[in-house]
Chains A and B, each alone.
Chain A
């Protein structure tokens, strides 16, 4: 598949949404609503439950909805500031009770409406990224469809990040890129290729730890293997001290960057 075909596949309405993964992977779930500040954003489905074997965990998913009514209610999976604040509230709660956090990301991006600006969309995402960098409990994120820029990163500043094989992750939507660069929104396919948005690209950049094979015809089996991966990672991450966990998370992101230096000034540090 070309990057553009992957983009279309990642957005396909037939693809399982965030809630579907939660339903398969967690048992005895209880959904927890609201940000305790303003409201409850239906674009984000979050709560607590058990991975099997009595391991409690917090789940947070961006959910696009499955029919027109739910898609409208969920704003087509574009979270508002109160959605990110709800997610952060649940992460802090997970930290308090030392539960791991599992996030599922599937969004075109954070909502761009006037009310989102009024309520501080930028500030909400900024706070999530900042607080996730200091969160003393393991965070594992799966990009299951679209990973749309800052709106995705607000749930993906994690210890481990995985992508489904046809999911995409991008700093800007290929449509936005095409219209800014070439003033031509028809050049989406070119933009998708230039931006390097596929799971395979992300693996190469070390932005993700692994790629999950898609098998939606055997969704339960596929989710079993995701659960297996989560449990394996929790075991590794839980064995670390808080300092070690945060150090590793810091270094995971610290390494990103391509540049050249003309002088060696290591003595500056």
Chain B
């Protein structure tokens, strides 16, 4: 996992790495254990292999900033709306402590980064959810930032590429968390009605209220191989169904088979695929 990764590096070097380049720089001598095959991997091998285990193909989760910098043209990334901080307005037991802990662990204010970037010189707006921060549960800050980037993208007629990863609602914000689903959906709808492109990339894990709103609202829905994508949790489904579910249940492959995903794109092909999609949609329809 990326957070295990960054923590190890932090412990070794006393510095919090924020992107691939600094990760590579600071991790020359660290060996990591893959959760897939339990084999040892040299850190820089993993980084150069798009955070995929070269032995077993296991996808390591990526942090928000790490992800967009890995994806986009060099020096094209501009982060926006990055001064929002969550508030424990319900005085929910343990929430303040959890926020504090996640902030320290990730060096981020909340579970999503938004902004603008380019692939192959084509501009787009983005949001990337970061499962290291409270499982990217969806509170006011997350909803506000994603809504704001859609409003910005509509104003400047930019496509939006969104990387989803979420455990679902942030119950520590009660009903206001649920309202973020409608709030973001409203901004998606306006952006869409104005004729703009929205691509979602479902990454591991995309669940709950995230699946039941903006993750599934893209014009084009891509997914990373083997990503967990679903509405209800696996255990809840098993209890409801009273039977054991197949191993691939709620995987990206399962969703593709059932018609809910346009394409599963391996990490090494993601940049090219997104680049082509941006190009196709910026050319203007021949029918116009």
Binding site for B on A (CB under 8 A): 110-114, 116-123, 125-127, 129-131, 133-134, 149-150, 153-154, 157, 169-172, 177, 180-181, 194-197, 201-202, 205, 207, 249-250, 253-254, 256-263, 265, 268-269
Contact = CB atoms under 8 A, between A and B. Distances in A.
Given A130-B185, A150-B209, A201 B175 contact: yes
Main secondary structure of the interface of B (DSSP, over half): helix
Contacts of A194: 90, 92-93, 174
B180 interface: yes
A231 to B, nearest CB: 25
B258 A118 contact: yes
A213 B92 CA distance: 29
A129 B94 CA distance: 31
B213 A129 contact: yes
B83 interface: yes
B182 interface: yes
B175 to A, nearest CB: 6
A268 B80 contact: yes
B140 A254 contact: no
15 contacts: A112-B236, A126-B185, A130-B185, A149-B178, A153-B178, A194-B92, A196-B90, A196-B174, A196-B175, A197-B174, A253-B179, A256-B176, A256-B182, A258-B173, A265-B80
B220 to A, nearest CB: 14
A256 B237 contact: no
Given A202-B175, A207-B175, A261-B83, A133 B140 contact: no
A131 B240 CA distance: 29
Most chain B beta-carbon neighbours within 10 Å: one of A122, A126, A263, A265: A122
Contacts of B187: 254
Contact of A259 (B80, B87, B192): B87
B215 interface: yes
Nearest to B255: A120
A235 B209 CA distance: 33
Interface residues of B, number: 65
A195 B174 contact: yes
Interface stretch (B22-30, B147-155, B272-280): B147-155
A194 B217 CA distance: 31
A112 B286 CA distance: 44
B163 interface: no
Nearest to A262: B83
A122 B233 CA distance: 12
B236 A249 contact: no
A253 B212 contact: no
A177 to B, nearest CB: 5
Interface in B158-190: 169, 171, 173-183, 185-190
B11 interface: no
A202 B176 CA distance: 10
A115 to B, nearest CB: 8
B176 A205 contact: yes
B202 to A, nearest CB: 10
B2 to A, nearest CB: 23
B129 to A, nearest CB: 15
A118 B241 CA distance: 13
A110 B237 CA distance: 12
Nearest to A264: B83
A75 B122 CA distance: 49
Nearest to B170: A171
A129 B189 CA distance: 9
B64 interface: no
Nearest to B94: A181
A121 B231 CA distance: 6
Contact of B186 (A172, A250, A265): A250
B89 to A, nearest CB: 4
Contacts of A150: 178, 181, 208-209, 212-213, 231
A120 B212 CA distance: 9
A10 to B, nearest CB: 14
B214 A258 contact: no
Contacts of A256: 140, 143, 176, 179-180, 182-183
